[in-house]
Amino acid sequence: MPESYRMDYIMVPEPMTMTIEAMKPHWALKKFDLWGDSLVVFRGPIDVKPDEIIDLKDFKSGTVFPRGELLHFVIEHFGDNLETGILRQNILVSIAEEKLAHRIGDARKILRWGDDLFDEDQRLSITAVAPTIVSVKIHLGICIDPDPENGFGGISEYSLDPVELGEVIGNQYRADMRRLREKTWRMRP
């Protein structure tokens, strides 16, 4: 039987700032000694300059990032093209939607609109996908602190534990990626 797919993972205990450096190839290897496909989860603010914005539509429209802390997921998949990375991003955002909705219950309606999460008219997330020369990088930031001035809600409004939420989203994503990879060698032609 082929070797099972493995994705290196770390839940960083101390807060850190999300910068554009995290979207460069081998960032998780250099910073955390994670080899191969990897997932790094941490909390902290985002500090990406306007000229560093990856999404050209966001760049042209002058997108504003939320102030305060976010729960960040930084993923690297080697050998993927951009389209596959976008599909993986959609899986990650769908998992986050499901886990948030389950924890919040019927009190609020969490919606996924494209690659973003919303609670009514308040945006709860930011996300990006970037190709590198050797991999595809995915970032999902779920707002912990609300920033109503810029149209963002935050999971602190629901009294959710960001560490627990990060663990369940990260574990589900890794399990889904493992099952996806295993299906490629389990199916008959």
Residues 58-103: tens digit of each pLDDT:
777 767 889 999 999 999 999 999 999 999 999 999 999 999 999 9
Query: 145-172 pLDDT, tens per residue?
Result: 999 999 999 999 999 999 999 999 999 9
Separation CA 108–CA 42 (nearest Å): 25
Query: 13-46 pLDDT, tens per residue?
Result: 999 999 999 999 999 999 999 999 999 999 999 9
Count other C-beta atoms under 10 Å from residue 126's C-beta.
Answer: 25
CA distances for 122 relative to 109, 125, 132, angstroms: 11, 9, 32
Tokens (6 digits) for 60 = 């042209």
pLDDT of the residue at 1: 45
Q: Which CATH superfamily is domain 8-182 in?
A: Bira Bifunctional Protein; Domain 2 (3.30.930.10)
Comparing CA positions, the residue from 114, 123, 103, 112 lying closest to residue 169 is 103
Pair 100, 124: CB distance under 8 Å = yes
95's torsion region: left (phi>0), alpha (psi -120 to 50) or beta? alpha
Count other C-beta atoms under 10 Å from residue 81's C-beta.
Answer: 10
- In percent, the amount of the chain with pLDDT more than 90 equals 75
